[in-house]
Structure formats: C-alpha cells, structure tokens
Amino acid sequence: MSALKQPRKLSLEGKGTVTIHPSDYLTSGGEGELYRIGDTVVKLYTDKEKMRRDGMIAKIALLRPLKHPSVVAPAGVVALPTGEPVGFHMPYVSGEPLSRLFTNDFRQREGFTHDMTKTLVERMREAVTFAHDKGAVLVDANELNWLARVKGADAPMPYVIDVDSWAIGKFGASVIMPSIRDWHRATFDQGSDWFAWAIVTFQLWSGIHPYKGKLDGYGPGDLLARMKANKSVFTSGVRLNRAVRDFRVIPPHLAQWYEATFESGLRERPPSAFASAVALGGAKTVLYAVTTGAGTLVFEKLFDEPLRRVVGVWPSGVLRLKDDSLVELRTKRTISTNAPPRCEVVKVEGGWLIAHVENGTLAAEYIALATLLPTKLTLPIAAQGLFRSGDRLFVVTLRGITELTLRLFSKPVLAVGGTWAVATNSTAFFDGVGVSDVLGAKFLVLPFGESACALVRAPELDSVAVVNAKGFGRFVAATVLSKTGDYKLLTFTFDREHGAYTFAGRIVDSPELNMAILPKGVAASIENDGVLSLTVPTEGRVVEVRDKHITTDMLLMRIDDQVLAVTGGALSSVRMR
C-alpha cells in the first residue's frame, strides 16, 4: 500500500469497521505504517502482497494467543471492505524508546534509578522467557523494538513490539540489526535471543554497548570486528569514559553472566536481576582552576547541599532538586516545594511560569519574583504535553504546537500566541527541538528568535532513529541509531533565516549528548574524558580544552549564557578566563 492520503474504511477482526485518517499516522517501520485509533494501533503493510505471499493470516493466528503484559502481539487481521487483508491491529501502548533510558541525561531528569533498572531488566527477562515458552524466537529484539513506560503505579514496564517479525511455527525470520546479532551462530534461536537481550539490557545498566570503548587495534567503526573477536568492555585494556556507569551496580551473578556471554560465548538464560545486588557510594569532585593552552578553565561552586542534590537546571535560573523543590539559583530562594514531575519552568515578566500537563489538562501557576506568591492559572486547551525552547514554552495539541504567553494586568493571565501545524502524534520532542515524522519524511521543528519557528526537511534523519537531540538558535545536535546498530552524532547548522543548513555526522560510542548550547552561539560539550569542546557552529571554529579533571559524568547545562556542570548532585559554573 502507498501512504494514506485520504480517509479509509477498514475492517478490524474482532472490532468491526473503523475509518482511519491521515492525521492518525504514528510512524513508519517494520515494513508498514502505523496509525492510532483510540486504544488500538493499525499496522498497514506497504507491500500489498505481503499478507498473502508470507502467509501472514496464519502467522497472526499463531501470534494472537501470546497474552503477556509486556508483549504487544497482533490482535487480529485488518482488511479492506473488499475483504483483502492489508495488515493487523494491536493494543496501543505508550512508552519511551528503550535507548533513551541508556543516557545519563534522561535518567537524571526522570529520576530513573538503579533499582528501577533492576525491575525493568527482570521484566524484560520474563517477557523473553514467556515468548520462548510459547515456541517463539524474537530474533530482532533490538533497543528500537522495546518501549519502557517509566511513570505509573506499576512502572517501569517494558513492552516488546514488532512481534509480527518473530519466528514461530513454520514462519522464520532473517532480518536483524547487526549490533545485536550473534556472529558466532548461523541461525536464530533462544541462545541468539539471549545474546541480543544481553546487548540491550547491559546498556540499561552501563550506558554503553558492551563492544564499545577504546581498545588498541580497533577504531570507532569496528563494532562488528570486536563482536566477532569477543573483545568486550570486560577485555583487559579497554578504556571507558566517566559517563559510563559503574559496572558494580549490576547484581553480581548477572554481571558474571554478562562477562561470560560477551567474552566466552555463553548462550543461556540469564539469572534473575534480583539474585544479588551491591550498594555503592559516590565520590565528590574537587573544584579547581587549571591553565591550558586555550586559557584558564575555572570551575566555581554554585550550589552544593548534600541533602538537596541538583537533578535539573532550567535556563530561567531555576534548579530542580531531588526532593522536588525548585530553587532560584541567584538568591537560593525556594520558589516551590512540590514541583510536579515533567514540569517546565520559564522566565516571564515579573517572575516565573511553572506548567505541566496532567490527564490532558494544562496546569500552570505564576510565581511572582518579588513575593514568591503563587497564582493559579487556567487555559481551556486540550493538551498532550509541553515543549520548551529556552524560555519559550509551547503546549502540544492534536493541531500542533501553540506558544504560551503570560500577560500582567491586575492579575497574571495565561494566553496563547502563535500556532504551528505539526503532526504531533508522530513527533518526538527533545530539548529545544522536535523531530517530526511525516509519512516517513523527517522534519526538524526548531523555534528561534522571539516568536518564530522553523519546520525544516531533514532527509539525513529519514533512515535513522533519533535517540536524543538538543537545539537552540541556529544549531541542532542529535544522537541517532542507524540500521547497522551504530550510534552517530549528527549536527545541523542553520543560516539566519533557517531556510538552509550545513550538515555533519560521525560515529560515536553511545547515545549520550552531553552538551549545552548558549544563546550567543557557542556549544559546549564533553564527549570523552579529558576534553571540553567549545564550538562556534556558524563559524566552524572549535576550541578543545584538555585536562584530566574534565570528565564525561559532568552533565553540562546552562543558565542564560553561562555553562554549568552537575556532578554528583552539586552544581558548578564552567568558564574560561
């Protein structure tokens, strides 16, 4: 089938007749296009012969009985009014792409802990075990085919998707991402599934693919060679960045299983993540000033309270602490004591606007700068979420993104500004930039200036999965996962009108994007231990500051034009003089 251009009636086995519209589009992938209708997702195969040629009706009949909380199995055949089968339907589930949970930035922002990792990994183990008990082999259970719901009473909950590609009964499978493939086996079976599970879940613990890191004799693009030679992160001589999480957080019996799997060819069911655990203490970072060839690099302590650790920073000058309080950095005043999860804080006239979305409703309050008195604000708008770029705040709706403004009359009033039509069902919003999938064509959604927003076609993103992205002004950086399983850093530098850009891309070790983009056009980043890069993208100029104290576990953020680093919950400024 071609991409849907107009409403179409379909017959859903067990549900009756429905009409899908182009606006119901979610994404493309796995040989088809996905559309959402309420709590149901319809997958329409792009190859109209697939259902008959590959015997998909019979295969769906085998997959349909696979009932498990973490398995999103086909629930029935989808057909045209003529009776011609064109796909299948399944339950809708909401979750984060698993690769997003690999990054320190996401884990800190969402409060995703090692204990939550343990629960998630165990539930993923249970899902694979269930599939094997039912005679199925997952084959290509890469990080893009897992979702994770990180909020809710029973969170974290994993969901394995693309179940129609599993091998079951007489139906085999041959497509797999190279980065999870067992290159020591010629066929796909339960052993190769457990190897793939090991690759994916190890990254949940550590943040790095087990065959990455620096090793003499191998380059950044030699992933498959490392896999074939069993040269993993457990190999003597491998050098890892500080951003890689300590392997000691992995329960001991499971850590031994990972090492035997990656180094010695073990291919068997892993032990439970709850078999054992260890507790670790953290180390404090000493602040310092160091003279380098590029000048003097100064780290200055700004906020360090052992019982109130920093977990987030907004450009508006507000810190989020682990106890959910919000603190104005300049005066150290607490402006809120119980901030909602996933809230946004922007600077507005005379104070701050704090907003979040709960059950489809926008909730907001104005905090006066002078008195810190809160004022509840209302705006009748059906909201799916929020999107922030610097101190500009947008509400995400079915129609697109609408900018929120605050006006001070006798009392503060929340109002709407400009609206930009964006296919929000198929758009992922990151820090200052969105990536919109329009029937397989990717666009960047980039607010700029005081009231503008660019929607720019970015074909370089069409064939990759965006894991993380940051954008501000004229610069966008994104870490992506390619079809070969390589992580890449892609950058887009725009002209003043945001009508054209220059592009660059290269392979990196992990999806981490440790970067702060300043209003003055400088991007500060730490990709490897010992190197702080200061880039002026519009000029193509890069200054590298080298020092052993610069580490990848310093999470870079910003307030106005000031670069900040969060290390172990303490906040420091980072500046050259």
Q: What is the pLDDT of residues 481-519, one digit of tens each?
A: 999 999 999 999 999 999 999 999 999 999 999 999 999
Q: What is the pLDDT confidence band of residue 174, given thresholds at 50, 70 and 90?
A: confident
For the ranges 187-201, 264-278, 413-427, 462-476, the lowest mean pLDDT is seen at: 264-278
Return the amino acid letter for 473: G
Q: What is the mean pLDDT of residues 315-342?
A: 93
Residue 294: the pLDDT is 59
- Measured between alpha carbons, how far is 9 from 15 in angstroms, rounded to an integer? 13
pLDDT, residue 289, reads 59
What is the predicted pLDDT for the residue at 30? 62
Among 28-32, 59-63, 277-281, 559-563, the range of highest mean pLDDT: 59-63
- Residue pair 181/188 in contact (Cβ under 8 Å)? The answer is no
Q: Give the CA radius of gyration of the chain.
A: 24
Give the model's pLDDT for residue 286.
33
* Better-predicted residue by pLDDT, 1 or 229: 229
The whole-number pLDDT of residue 313 equals 96
Task: Answer yes or no: is pLDDT of 401 > 90.
Answer: yes
Sign of the alpha-carbon torsion through 248, 249, 251, 254: negative
Residue 343, C-beta contacts closer than 8 angstroms, at least 6 positions apart: 354, 355, 356
Structure tokens at 146: 């897992």
Please give the structure tokens belonging to residue 32.
């088809």
pLDDT of residue 290: 57
Closest CA to 503 of 539, 460, 533: 460
Q: What is the distance between the alpha carbons of residues 365 and 406, in angstroms, rounded to a whole number?
A: 10
162, with CB counted inside 10 A (0-12, 13-18, 19+), is buried
pTM of the model: 0.81
How large a percentage of the chain has pLDDT more than 70?
Answer: 95
Q: What's the confidence (pLDDT) of residue 278?
A: 34
pLDDT > 80? residue 239: yes
Q: What's the pLDDT score for residue 275?
A: 66
Residue with tokens 């893009």: 144
Mean pLDDT calculated for residue range 345-361: 94
**Homologous superfamily (CATH) for 100-264:** Transferase(Phosphotransferase) domain 1 (1.10.510.10)
What integer pLDDT is reported at residue 274 of this predicted model?
Answer: 85
CATH of 8-91, one of 3.30.200.20, 3.30.420.40, 3.30.565.10, 3.30.479.30: 3.30.200.20
List the chain domain ranges: 8-91, 100-264, 317-421
The letter for the amino acid at 332 is: K
Which of 39, 139, 51, 25 shows the shortest CA–CA distance to 90? Answer: 39
On the question of pLDDT at 3 being above 70, the answer is: no
Mean pLDDT for the stretch of residues 28-51: 91
Structure tokens at 127: 């899902």
